[in-house]
Amino acid sequence: MPELPEVETIVRGLNQKVKGREILDAWTDWPKTIQTHTLTNFIAEIAGRKILRAHRRAKYIMIDLSGSKTLIIHQKISGHLLYGKWKLIKGKPEPDMAGPIKEDRFNRHIRFLLYLDNGYQLGLSDLRRFGRVFLGDTEKIEHINEIGRLGPEPLDPKFTLAKFRELMAKRRGVVKKVLMDPFVIVGIGNIYSDEVLWYSGIHPLRRVEKIAPAEWAKVYKYMKLVLKKAIHAKGDSQQDYRTLEGKFGNYQNMQKAYQLTGEKCQKRDGGIIKRIKGNARSAHFCPVHQI
């Protein structure tokens, strides 16, 4: 699933590409994609509205529209939003432009299209069809799906170390699972929980109750460092995710633990990265320095 850096990369791309554009129409081949409306009602609501700005809440892409409406896209496990041109051939979107959107197979599973006034579309490529689209009043978006119950943003300047420690003091359980809980703190999934814990020197199955204040300071520091580094790299494209243009991000070339099973630890401590399962999740870690 795209995590905070991948979603933030898409949002920044949207503000460069589609801010100020008018929405003309929409299409989907999967009725469950649009959660709040039928396709006909959805089109009636959004046609003629302008895109004011894009922003992010957790892993949700939020697109504010004229008339106090907000379009929300949750890319889920295999989804990623693209900006390009498609034409429907026998009811199936086919790329109408050269480049990675046409050439990369991970960009070929278009389930939803938003038609814009400049001849381009926003397309949701989603192999597993888990991606979801919502439309609601901008002032009431906290009532849509789980948005109002989400935890704090890890990169929010107001989210201090003191607040982080206070938050974790109330939790129980395995540290990797807690870091991945969007109702505790948002935007961190399998990739970046592994990476943060590698940098912090903490075993992914350590109990949060056993982590010392000084160790939480490390987690806090590296959580911000890793997420910012991944945003700068435009996300991790080891699996399905691509940028708005259909290109690869670069964080997969910077990984320290995630999906590096069997490789030597980059700390050169003699450790070999291992993969373990716990709480129905896999984790990658160095058994030497992560304790």
Same-domain status, 12 and 134: yes
Q: Which of 102, 120, 149 is the last residue of a domain?
A: 149
Residue 155 lies in a domain: no
pLDDT computed for residue 281 by the predictor: 79
What whole-number distance in Å separates Cα of residue 52 and Cα of residue 50? Answer: 6
Cα–Cα distances in angstroms (integers) from residue 81 to residues 108, 111, 217, 273, in the given order: 11, 10, 35, 32
Same-domain status, 142 and 12: yes
pTM, 2 dp: 0.96
Query: Which of 3, 6, 45, 195 is an active site residue?
Result: 3
Model confidence over 97-122: pLDDT tens digits?
999 999 999 999 999 999 999 999 99
pLDDT computed for residue 56 by the predictor: 97
pLDDT computed for residue 278 by the predictor: 73
Same-domain status, 274 and 183: yes
Query: Which of 2, 95, 100, 154 is an active site residue?
Result: 2
Here the CATH number for the domain that contains residue 167 is 1.10.8.50
Q: How many domains does the structure of the chain reveal?
A: 2
Identify residue 172 by its one-letter amino acid code.
Answer: R
User: Which tokens in the block code for residue 243?
Assistant: 């940028």
Return the percentage of the chain with pLDDT > 70, whole number.
99
Closest C-alpha to 179, from 207, 156, 157, 159: 207
Same-domain status, 192 and 139: no
Query: Which of 49, 56, 59, 176 is an active site residue?
Result: 59
Here the CATH number for the domain that contains residue 129 is 3.20.190.10
Same-domain status, 221 and 276: yes
- Structural domain containing residue 203: 161-285
Torsion of CA 157, 162, 167, 172, to 10 degrees: 140
Residue 44 lies in a domain: yes
Q: Is 21 a catalytic residue?
A: no
Low-confidence ranges of the chain (pLDDT < 50): none
Q: Is 267 a catalytic residue?
A: no
Q: Is 3 a catalytic residue?
A: yes
What whole-number distance in Å separates Cα of residue 217 and Cα of residue 232? Answer: 23
pLDDT computed for residue 187 by the predictor: 97
Residue 198 lies in a domain: yes
Q: Is 12 a catalytic residue?
A: no
Query: Which of 22, 85, 281, 287 is an active site residue?
Result: 281
What whole-number distance in Å separates Cα of residue 10 and Cα of residue 246? Answer: 10
